[in-house]
Amino acid sequence: MKLNTIEHADCLDFLREIPDESVDVTFADPPFNLKKRYSTYWDNLDVAQYVEWCHKWLRELVRVTKPSGSIFIHNIPKWLSYYCQALNEIADFRHWISWEAIGTPLGKTLLPTHYGILFYAKDYSQLKFYDVRYPHHRCRKCNTLRKDYGGKKKRLHPFGPLVSDVWTDLHRIRHNKRRDRHPCQLPIPLLERVILMSTDEGDTVLDPFMGTGTTAVAARRLGRDFMGTDIDENYVKISSDHVAAIEPTSKIGDSWVSLYLDQVATIRDEDWAELQHYFEVPQPAPAIDNKSIVYREGKLKVIEESIYAYERPKPVQNELLGMGLEDSDGALKEQ
Ligand X SMILES: C[S@@+](CC[C@H](N)C(=O)[O-])C[C@H]1O[C@@H](n2cnc3c(N)ncnc32)[C@H](O)[C@@H]1O
Choosing from 235, 256, 260, 279, the residue that interacts with ligand X (CB under 6 A) is 235
Q: Can you give the three-state secondary structure of the chain, one letter per residue?
A: CCCCCEEECCHHHHHHCCCCCCEEEEEECCCCCCCCCCCCCCCCCCHHHHHHHHHHHHHHHHHHEEEEEEEEEEECHHHHHHHHHHHHHHCEEEEEEEEECCCCCCCCCCCCCEEEEEEEECCHHHCCCCCEECCCCECCCCCCECCCCHHHHHHCCCCCCECCCEECCCCCCCCHHHCCCCCCCCCHHHHHHHHHHHCCCCCEEEECCCCCCHHHHHHHHCCCEEEEEECCHHHHHHHHHHHHCCCCCCEECCEECEEECCEEEEEEHHHHHHHHHHEECCCCHHHHHCCCCEECCCCCCCHHHHHHCCCCCCCCCCCCCCCCCCCCHHHHHHC
Task: Candidates 149-157, 181-189, 241-249, 303-311: pick the segment binding ligand X (CB under 6 A).
Answer: 181-189
The nearest distance, CB 119 to ligand X, in angstroms, is 16
Tell me: does residue 211 bind ligand X (CB under 6 A): yes
Q: Which is nearer to ligand X, 182 or 224 (CB)?
A: 182
Choosing from 71, 91, 231, 252, the residue that interacts with ligand X (CB under 6 A) is 231
Fill in the per-residue mask, 77 to 116: x = in contact with ligand X (CB under 6 A), - = not in contact.
Answer: ----------------------------------------
Tell me: does residue 29 bind ligand X (CB under 6 A): yes
Q: Which is nearer to ligand X, 6 or 288 (CB)?
A: 6
Tell me: does residue 185 bind ligand X (CB under 6 A): yes
Tell me: does residue 225 bind ligand X (CB under 6 A): no
Task: Candidates 104-112, 126-134, 180-188, 197-205: pick the segment binding ligand X (CB under 6 A).
Answer: 180-188
Tell me: does residue 209 bind ligand X (CB under 6 A): yes
Tell me: does residue 182 bind ligand X (CB under 6 A): yes
Task: Candidates 78-86, 166-174, 182-190, 241-249: pick the segment binding ligand X (CB under 6 A).
Answer: 182-190
User: Residues in the site for ligand X, rule: CB under 6 A?
Assistant: 10-11, 29-31, 38, 41, 182, 184-186, 208-209, 211-212, 214, 229-232, 235
